[in-house]
Amino acid sequence: MDWLTFFSSLVDSIAWPLAIIIIVWWLKDYIKKLIPYTSKLKYGDLEIEFGERLAELKVETEKLKKEHPAIALPEVNKEYLDKDTSNISPRTAIVEAWIALELTAFNFAKHYNIVDTDKQPFVKILKLYEEKQILQKDEIEVIRKLQKLRNQALHESSFDISRKEAEEYSRLARDMEEIIMSECWQKFGGCSH
């Protein structure tokens, strides 16, 4: 084998792996942005799932619950935590739990005159809660993470989670509802202005 043949076979054997490495490196910022939207990512021994992100959120929510005393929730939103929903469709249970969280955030914002109109996007309501120092950044961040998980459940066609994970998501959403109500109650002394 002469040098030219050796060099040609060397280039031939590393061309595709090198091209893939260059493409991945070039797209690394886009790939990083897509990772939070994946329900399951597996590469070798690395596997990131919805349940792991849910477990992380549970730890964050438990910390927030300890910092903020809870008040009893009104009965109006209890229908969204019906256990039968998670039995029928875990995806539906997640969406319904999110709707209950959104309704609580909006209803309390409306009741305490945080918003002045019925047509406010949820992102705006969260921003107002933060600006008026009702919710702290870490609380807002947990709600946004719950929203990302809800988006995943709603928009990914290959989304697959267990009933137990759906029930855990519902509990976490409920915990954040309690924090919103508790913080509004404490900030405004329980009465509307």
Reported as a single tens digit per residue, the pLDDT across 72-129 is 555 444 444 444 555 567 888 888 999 999 998 998 888 888 887 777 888 888 998 8
Place of tokens 């493409």: 23
Given CA atoms 26, 30, 34, 35 in this order, what sign does their dihedral have? positive
Query: Rounded to 5 degrees, what angle do the CA atoms 127, 132, 134 make?
Result: 90
Give the pLDDT mean for 17-34.
75
Nearest to 131 by CA among 120, 147, 145, 115: 115
| Domain annotation for the chain: domains and CATH numbers | 1-37 (no CATH), 50-188 (1.20.120)
Nearest to 82 by CA among 174, 182, 180, 176: 174
pLDDT class of 21 with cuts at 50, 70, 90 = confident
Q: What is the pTM of this model?
A: 0.59
Can you tell me the distance from the alpha carbon of 59 to that of 13, in angstroms, rounded to the nearest whole number? 47
pLDDT class of 46 with cuts at 50, 70, 90 = very low
Backbone phi, psi, residue 104, to 5°: -60, -45
Helix 122-131 vs helix 90-111: crossing angle, to nearest 10: 50
pLDDT at 68: 64
pLDDT at 79: 47
Each residue's pLDDT tens digit, 127-159: 988 998 888 898 999 999 999 888 888 887 777
pLDDT at 141: 92
